[in-house]
Chain A
Amino acid sequence: MDSKLFPEGTQRCSFGQFMLWMGFLGAVFLWGVYGATLVLYNGIGTTGLDNYFGFGAWITFDLAVIALGAGAFFTGLLKYILKIKQLEKIINLTVIIGFCCYAGAMLILVLDVGQPTRAWFGYWHPNVHSMLTEVIFCITCYLIVLIIEFVPLILEQKQLNKIPFIHAFAHNLHVNMALFAGIGAFLSTFHQGSLGGMYGVLIGRPFAFREGFFIWPWTFFLFILSAVGTGPVFTVLVATLMEKITGKKLVDFKTKALMAKIAGSMLSVYMFFKIIDTWAWATGYLPSVGLTFDDMFYGFIYGKWLMFSEIVICGIVPAIMLVVPSIRNRPGLLYTAGILACIGVSLNRYIFTVQTIAFPVMPFDTWQLYYPNWVEYATSIMIIAFGFIVISLSYRYLPVFPLETKLNYQSGD
């Protein structure tokens, strides 16, 4: 029915089957829309957030998807600036994932701020000292960049591209892509850092506060490193998941392994500094404000196992797995390491968001538990559904994977 719209030389599932799939995603998405409506109409009181947890599931989700979406800028940087040719086989997917992650984060932020109609005050009354201003600037600008990077791919759609103006426009965008990739890399690096900086500057929160370099606390750099250490493997995981769902080969394993190698190296660097940072914080900073490392943890929910999982199981272990070629080159192990690394970075964002504000700084204050309620889950899942919808549409109608025809319809022939 819609086969004329498919990318050149590819086959797709039937339209009915696709509609069924989209219907399922749409239903999940609408569930989230219902939650979002409650939030926007009734107020944020609808969620599980409270006076102790002004930041919660939403901010954790935002930080995690932004970290995982880092594949876009980092791969773009390597491909367009450092000219690593191999990466063009996956670059389109990184852009789409980046777009989904950033657009999703923006949507969640609209729900998360109490006065969404004032969200643009970040530009109107900017506080240049605030890490969050930097985040607002960079995220919005980078989303625009991602849209600009995404547009040529849309314009390359078989039927659209037949229109001469669109063809010319797409071509121009393509020619200038290195410029946008450069801007994107700059913006993205900064806000990945500012997101970490957001916590590092909290002088009133000993769990997160860090010394640093110039105006940037160490968390600034750690967040950049952890994002570039996991973004690329996340792209690989998404590509692999798409392969499982579609039953086609979309990216050659060589490219995947290269992405994993890049991520692994960055992850190793990250873990090196993360461990030094944690050690210095625990033995230097904390005692200086009358606290001990043990004070930072409480019960099971806020137990040390969280930090252990983050740093060892989901940090050192995947870093080693991705760096050692013999492990990395076995697909199963590569994917396992990738999943661990992604869990690790998400855990890191969760710990920095929730445990930071859960630790009762005043000695007479108490640890409080935070339970996100279904509204927060539903709206977050809505974003995931949104991502699936965008990727499904892109896969079906846009030439996302340059190697698709070669890997599926030509090899062996």
Chain B
Amino acid sequence: MSVARRAFIQMSVGATVGILFTPTVWTLLDDVSIWTQNWPWIPTLKYGEVKGVPTVSKMCESGCAVKVRTVAGEAFGTEGNMDNPLSGGGICPLCANGVQVKNSPNRIAAPMLNGEEITWEKAEEVLVDKLAAAGSNVAVISGDQTGTVNELLSAVLTGKQSDKFYTMPCDMQVSDRAWTGLMGGSGQIGYDMENADVVLLAGADAFESWGPTVANMKAFANNEGGKFIFAGPMQTKTASVTSKWVPVPAEGMAAFTLGICYYVLQAGKSVPASDFDQFKAMVMAGYTPAKVEAATGVKADQMAEVAKQLLSASNPVVVPAGSVAANAAGIALNLLLGGGMKVLPEFAAAVDGAMTRSEMLKGDILQGVDAEMVIIYEANPTYALPEQVKAGFTVAIDSVNTETTAAADLVLPSLHSYERYDDLASPYGVASAIYTMGAPVSKPASGAKDARDLFLAPAGLDSESFAEVIEAKVEAIGADMDELVEGAAYVLEETPDMSGVTLAASALGKAAVPVKGTGAVGLAPYTVLSVGTANQATTPNAPATISNNQLVGDNMVVMMASVTAKKLGVSVGSKVKLSGGNGECEALVQVFEGVLPGVVAAPLGMGHTVGDEFSKGKGDNVYKILTVSSEAAAGASTWAGSTVNVAKI
């Protein structure tokens, strides 16, 4: 057999062309092309009308005024609420992930008694029995700082002649202790950063974790030309946008503030307070710049410079944070300067027998809680205060599994913010008394009920549901329900009585003296919202925003200046053990020159042992190594001045 060369080529070409002219190849290719895009395991989307429904989100400490974005009625995202002064369109990274947390498999599906699922009826029965059995020895720990739910829970206590209402340690509490405790004031302190021309953030990490973060950031954005100065032991995210960072150790913040008072007093400023002369004498003698420099390491000329700027401003404001003494010193400085510090009235109560906010803040949880029965509402003390809470029977109310729900005897699942009526009354730090309310956006997850309803009867209310309590609240404060549901905020313009306010001269003189622990280096615990707070662990999408300066793999990262690292004999990537308080933490070292020498900065909010994969086993729990010390002169307990020993492992 032989094939001619020409025939061979003809045959090859012919066959190729022939196949290409049939539709087979092209149809097949087209099919495959489509096929490569349709995999059954890729979720498909739901389409329909997209809406933004206003409500409140309670994942961050202050709460955010949000709009929940829905598609065909199903919530999918969270955005800010332009019409609400708490938001102005922005929200925090935690609340931005609200819907994902709502839909998380970490939600608690049903009430649990000692780890066993029970019915709601049974749960209510146990709750009533235990409440009856506990008598007056009942305590409440609330993780909510702003909601009317606290009125309900405190009314339960009042009915049982108990005053054991506790909040988790928070800036609001410290401020209240300074203002109503030491200085004889009433109402709540607020700071108008938006209209100030010079803002001294004396320890307040205002754009990340202090106060109404989002409202603060909005104020910063709107404040064209205002000068912001940050003082604190580390360059927080707030310090990255302020025009100046003054490195001040946490325990020295009160003394630093009084050091500024020195210059302000020298400039002739005064306040009509009964103890003004005593205050002046105390500062001029005990807190001279030289003495403050010796005690805190802050250079006198730096204080002079800050004081000069505050004095030359027409509307300055000092925003203190940290210890009670630091708050009192900050408030005193504000009173001297007469700038943008505000005193906010409290909204009228809706529940008879409810405590006032200031009364709720009096309990010192750091001193420990010991009660026959402890009711924990959306707080995580087992994680953040592992040694402080002792109870015969614990009831934990939360929407997701936490260390606290895992350890509780009775667990009552609560609805997510987007599934319930909830409200936000004057988050700490806002410049005016402001009330925001949210109605449910989504249907409750299957099996979920409003756990708050179980406390209506024990509080002596005959309401059917908590929604009625909110309605009563709205009525009591004189706001319009419809406007609130639309997302608008209600603002109360009123100034509480300021007569009788003192500068707390006698207490402050002693309380402002820096007291440091015995560890080798100072500890600057800091909060990054995307890492989480004491009550809220990080959310599903937030870990992508957590920097390697906080977490590498499953290891927490602590930061220090290169001089500190050298002193401790560690370098970038060294694994270290931090010991302080009654605990230990493991971490990797990162060198960050924005930390005061002699101080280690560690992120709060990691090291969860219960929860979803995004928080569980990630990093270590810095709350374990915080030292509780007594601010004797101020009559309070504090974590400020914590120190740690660092050992390389």
Confirm or deny: A118 has a beta carbon within 8 angstroms of a beta carbon on chain B. Answer: yes
Interface contact A172-B29, CB-CB below 8 Å: no
Interface contact B1-A168, CB-CB below 8 Å: yes
Contact residues in B for A175 (Cβ distance below 8 Å):
5
Interface contact A168-B2, CB-CB below 8 Å: yes
Confirm or deny: B3 has a beta carbon within 8 angstroms of a beta carbon on chain A. Answer: yes
**Helix, strand, loop or mixed for chain B's interface?**
helix
Q: Shortest Cβ distance from A121 into chain B, in angstroms? A: 7
Confirm or deny: B32 has a beta carbon within 8 angstroms of a beta carbon on chain A. Answer: yes
Interface contact A118-B1, CB-CB below 8 Å: no
Confirm or deny: B44 has a beta carbon within 8 angstroms of a beta carbon on chain A. Answer: no
Confirm or deny: A41 has a beta carbon within 8 angstroms of a beta carbon on chain B. Answer: no
A292 to B324, CA, bound (A): 55
Interface contact B8-A172, CB-CB below 8 Å: yes
Confirm or deny: B9 has a beta carbon within 8 angstroms of a beta carbon on chain A. Answer: yes
Interface contact B3-A168, CB-CB below 8 Å: yes
Contact residues in A for B5 (Cβ distance below 8 Å):
172, 175-176
Confirm or deny: A16 has a beta carbon within 8 angstroms of a beta carbon on chain B. Answer: no
**Which residue of chain B has the shortest Cβ distance to A164 in the bound complex?**
B1
Confirm or deny: A86 has a beta carbon within 8 angstroms of a beta carbon on chain B. Answer: no
Q: Which of B147-204 contact A (CB under 8 A)?
A: none
A168 to B8, CA, bound (A): 10
Select one of B1, B33, B36 contacting A165, CB under 8 A: B1
Q: Which of A108-133 contact B (CB under 8 A)?
A: 115, 117-118, 120-121, 124
Q: Shortest Cβ distance from A165 into chain B, in angstroms? A: 6
Contact residues in B for A169 (Cβ distance below 8 Å):
3, 8
Interface contact B2-A124, CB-CB below 8 Å: no
Confirm or deny: B21 has a beta carbon within 8 angstroms of a beta carbon on chain A. Answer: no
Contact residues in B for A176 (Cβ distance below 8 Å):
5, 8-9
Q: Mark B29-43, 1 if CB is under 8 A from A, else 0.
A: 100110110000000
A124 to B5, CA, bound (A): 33
Q: Shortest Cβ distance from B39 into chain A, in angstroms? A: 10
Q: Which of B1-53 contact A (CB under 8 A)?
A: 1-3, 5, 8-9, 29, 32-33, 35-36
**Which residue of chain A has the shortest Cβ distance to B29 in the bound complex?**
A124
A120 to B29, CA, bound (A): 9
Contact residues in B for A121 (Cβ distance below 8 Å):
33
Contact residues in B for A118 (Cβ distance below 8 Å):
33, 36
**Which residue of chain A has the shortest Cβ distance to B7 in the bound complex?**
A172
**Which residue of chain A has the shortest Cβ distance to B32 in the bound complex?**
A117
A165 to B2, CA, bound (A): 7
A164 to B2, CA, bound (A): 8
Interface contact A115-B36, CB-CB below 8 Å: yes
Q: Shortest Cβ distance from A367 into chain B, in angstroms? A: 15
Q: Shortest Cβ distance from B123 into chain A, in angstroms? A: 44
Q: Shortest Cβ distance from B500 into chain A, in angstroms? A: 54
Contact residues in A for B8 (Cβ distance below 8 Å):
169, 172, 176
Q: Which of B227-267 contact A (CB under 8 A)?
A: none
Q: Mark A121-163, 1 if CB is under 8 A from B, else 0.
A: 1001000000000000000000000000000000000000000
Contact residues in A for B33 (Cβ distance below 8 Å):
118, 121, 124
Contact residues in A for B9 (Cβ distance below 8 Å):
176
A117 to B2, CA, bound (A): 41
Contact residues in B for A124 (Cβ distance below 8 Å):
29, 33
Q: Which of A47-85 contact B (CB under 8 A)?
A: none
**Which residue of chain B has the shortest Cβ distance to A179 in the bound complex?**
B9
A176 to B3, CA, bound (A): 13
**Which residue of chain A has the shortest Cβ distance to B9 in the bound complex?**
A176
Listed in ascending order, the chain B residues whose CB lies under 8 Å from chain A are: 1-3, 5, 8-9, 29, 32-33, 35-36
Listed in ascending order, the chain A residues whose CB lies under 8 Å from chain B are: 115, 117-118, 120-121, 124, 164-165, 168-169, 172, 175-176
- Additional A-B contacts beyond A168-B2, A172-B8, A175-B5 (16; CB < 8 A): A115-B36, A117-B32, A117-B35, A117-B36, A118-B36, A121-B33, A124-B29, A124-B33, A164-B1, A165-B1, A168-B1, A168-B3, A169-B3, A172-B3, A176-B8, A176-B9
